[in-house]
Amino acid sequence: SYSALGGLSEEIETLKEIVQYSLLKPETLARYCLKRTKGVLLYGPPGTGKTSLAQAVAKEAGVKMLVINGPEIVTEYHGESEAAMKAIFDLAAREAPSVVFIDELDAITPQRREGSEGLGQRLMATLLTSMDGVHQNGVLVIAATNRPESIDPALRRHGRFDYEIEIAGVPTPKGRLEILQVHLSRLKHTLSSEDVQALASATHGFVGADLSALCNEAALGALRRHVHSKTESASSLSVGREDFELASEKIRPSAMREVILEVPKVRWSDIGGQSAVKQQLKEIVEWPHKHQDSFARIGTTPPRGVLLYGPPGCSKTMMARAVAAETGLNFIAVKGPELFSKWVGESEKAVRALFARAKAAAPSVVFFDEIDGLAITRSSGGGRTDGISVEDRVMSQLLIEMDGVSLRNGVSVIAATNRPDKLDPALLRPGRFDRLIYVGPPDRAARQQIFEIHMKNTPCKADVSVDVLASYTESYTGADIAAVCREAALAALEEDLDSVAVGASHFDVALTRVLP
């Protein structure tokens, strides 16, 4: 029933209306000379509720639903798969009004290519023929896929799948709250309404199936606690906040399983100096997530992208990680050169997939490290195919994705480079990387802070002066200072393995080993 579906109220209403008029009230459409809907395509990431939505709508409408599971209908015997599909459509016509639900449509309807033959093409032809007659038989076809781009365009034209409904990649906090309330209604728990609200806010990136798995894992955790407890009775067994805290460490959002997901442990306090840069990043990345109402009230939108540029070792990467950690966002890190592939089209596909995953895992930060290795000035690279280099194609795809970031609610893009002069000018115009922030070497006060950060866990003798060290390290970057602290500790151990503190003499040795 609809009560078991949380966060899909708009999608339910849309599909319910289609079923209502196309199957149960076709005379209303005929009165206004309107045609019945033949098919509806539901698309979105796995676990977002596509199958559950179709089942609930069919059940509430009181119509029979016959299921074709894409991979299961495929057999090795010639003609058997086509016959099975035709038999289901024939049965649906006899049971009308009815729904034929095709799960994983992309498995049986791949895009046709010139000269291609085989089972996929025969199934495709059978499906097209069957769908051309469904409106006369009181049958509605609903299909689901998480790969809409893989489906033959002939199916997606008007007259086959007339409607396409996107099941949003990740529910909003309100949607997650509704889903959690559905699952928690089946559990005995001790969570307050504030606890449930906090859980909904903390589970960004989770789809319906993930939230279901989280509740199951929390319940299992409570059961384990009961089994190992000598005092807790079975009647008092309930799921508590600590069970969800432990479960959240085990259940990872499905949207994030195929990307490099880092959980940044860097905080602003771990970065010395750069207060102006920190403040700008807070305004650009943190404020839009924490103060959405303020942006809407003033009638403005936050910048789409931030480019951090400056010499190596000046904490550009740490800055990006810190702003994600402080804001509680999913962090997707990719080095520019990692997206390149020797196969034509694969590099552009990797860029598209990266942004699609970021949208699915929103709110999130996409961080391009060494973006100069990816977004170099077009026509300056090699690897040409038909006169167009792979760098040109990747750059074009990146521009397209950056232009779409404003539509990808909850996605922030940060990039870092040591060579801004190498970047394509098209990427640096307003609307893409709106804000360019210079991250330079630390001044004396910042160097002092950096020494204090790296020395806080290192016992030092009384003759060590952070102020003096800061004055000796003119032109040193944050990375250089971290290396100086490591070398000083090593120098102390080299002098005596039983050393318990680092002295000024050890820092003198370190400064001769580490040059700016």
Write down the pLDDT at residue 258. 52
Q: What's the rounded Cα separation, in Å, for the pair 286 and 295?
A: 12
> Quick count: other Cβ atoms within 10 Å of Cβ 353?
13
CB 94 within 8 A of CB 137: no
Q: What 8-state DSSP symbol labels residue 488?
A: H
CA 39 to mean position of chain CA atoms: 29
> Quick count: other Cβ atoms within 10 Å of Cβ 30?
11
Write down the pLDDT at residue 305. 86
> Quick count: other Cβ atoms within 10 Å of Cβ 310?
19
Largest CA distance in the chain: 96
Helix H or strand E encompassing 334:
strand 330-335
Residues 6+ apart with CB under 8 A from 158: none
> Quick count: other Cβ atoms within 10 Å of Cβ 174?
12
**What CATH class does 268-378+386-438 carry?**
alpha beta
Could you check whether the bond before residue 288 is cis, i.e. omega within 30 degrees of 0? no
The CA–CA distances, whole Å, from 361 to 227, 238, 257, 364, 440 equal: 36, 30, 10, 6, 32
Q: What 8-state DSSP symbol labels residue 285?
A: I
Token code pair at residue 306 = 């931030």
* pLDDT averages per 10-residue partition of the chain, 516 residues: 70 88 78 82 84 89 89 76 88 90 83 54 82 76 87 81 81 82 88 89 80 90 80 72 88 63 74 89 83 80 85 88 83 75 71 79 82 66 52 80 66 88 82 87 91 91 92 91 94 91 93 90
Q: Are strands 388-389 and 384-385 parallel, antiparallel or unpaired?
A: antiparallel
User: For 416, phi and psi rounded to 5 degrees?
Assistant: -130, 145
Which amino acid is located at 160 in the chain? R
Helix H or strand E encompassing 16:
helix 9-19
Token code pair at residue 344 = 């034509």
CATH architecture of 173-256: Orthogonal Bundle (1.10)
Listed residue (264, 257, 214, 270) closest to 239, CA to CA: 214
Reported pTM? 0.60
Examine domains 2-166 and 268-378+386-438 and report if their fold is the same. Answer: yes
Beta bridge partner(s), residue 145: 43
Q: Where are the domains of the chain?
A: 2-166, 173-256, 268-378+386-438, 444-513
Could you check whether the bond before residue 459 is cis, i.e. omega within 30 degrees of 0? no
Q: What's the rounded Cα separation, in Å, for the pair 405 and 364?
A: 12
Q: Which residues of 209-248 are buried (b: 16+ CB within 10 A; e: fewer)?
A: bbbbbbbebbbebbeebeeeeeeeeeeeeebebebbebbb
Neighbour order of strands in the sheet with 161-166? 64-69, 98-103, 139-145, 39-43, 161-166
Which amino acid is located at 87 in the chain? A
The CA–CA distances, whole Å, from 276 to 143, 273, 279, 452 equal: 52, 9, 5, 20
Beta bridge partner(s), residue 131: none
Cβ-in-10-Å burial (0-12, 13-18, 19+) of 16 comes to: middle
Could you check whether the bond before residue 253 is cis, i.e. omega within 30 degrees of 0? no
Q: What's the rounded Cα separation, in Å, for the pair 373 and 422?
A: 9
Write down the pLDDT at residue 31. 78
3-state secondary structure of 502: strand
Q: What's the rounded Cα separation, in Å, for the pair 209 and 5?
A: 11
3-state secondary structure of 251: coil
CB 332 within 8 A of CB 258: no
- Digit-coded pLDDT (tens) for 235-260: 668 888 889 989 888 887 765 555 54
Complete DSSP assignment for 233-291: -GGG--B-HHHHHHHHHH---GGGTTS-EE-----GGGS-S-HHHHHHHIIIIIHHHH-
CATH 3.40.50.300 fits 2-166, yes or no: yes
- Which residue, chain included where needed, has tokens 């540029």? 309
CA 74 to mean position of chain CA atoms: 32
CB 347 within 8 A of CB 313: no
Q: What 8-state DSSP symbol labels residue 23?
A: I
**What CATH class does 444-513 carry?**
mainly alpha
